[in-house]
Amino acid sequence: MAQGRYVDGDPIPTVEVPTAASIRRDGLYLKRTPLHPLQKAASLPGKALAVYIAIRHRRDVTGKPTVALSNPFLATWGVDKDSKARALRELEAAGMARVDRTPGRNARVTLLDG
């Protein structure tokens, strides 16, 4: 409904609906994700599912198959650096990700599920 409209003297609340362009620009989406990898990650211990979703989101936003995972980025997902390390090991062991680690640098992760 348009702004400035009233019902019984009270303004009608309005909500700004994001455009497709603003959603892509701001990264406010998760592309369609096959259910199987989510189920597989959910069966892993700890924060593996949260880390998997964060990786998938970063990959969708950047359009790059390999993404860097910083600790501050994962902190927004409720994942600390130790949980991140454990989750990446679990995702690797499950065959869901390949992780390139360089001391002093962010882990670079490629999802193997497509």
Residue 37: is it exposed, middle or buried by C-beta count within 10 angstroms (0-12/13-18/19+)?
A: buried
> How large a percentage of the chain has pLDDT more than 70?
72
Considering the domain boundaries, does residue 21 fall inside one?
no
Instruction: State the average pLDDT over residues 24-33.
Output: 63
Within a domain: 41:
yes
> Number of structural domains, the chain?
1
Domain containing residue 60: CATH number: 1.10.10.10
Section 36-56 average pLDDT: 93
**What letter represents residue 75's amino acid?**
A
Around Cβ 87, how many Cβ atoms within 10 Å?
Answer: 26
Structural domain span for residue 104:
32-111
This prediction's pTM: 0.73
pLDDT digits (tens, 9 = 90+) for 12-21: 665 565 565 6
Question: What does the pLDDT look like over 63-109, one tens digit per residue?
Answer: 899 999 999 999 999 999 999 999 999 999 999 999 999 999 999 99
- 61 falls within a domain: yes
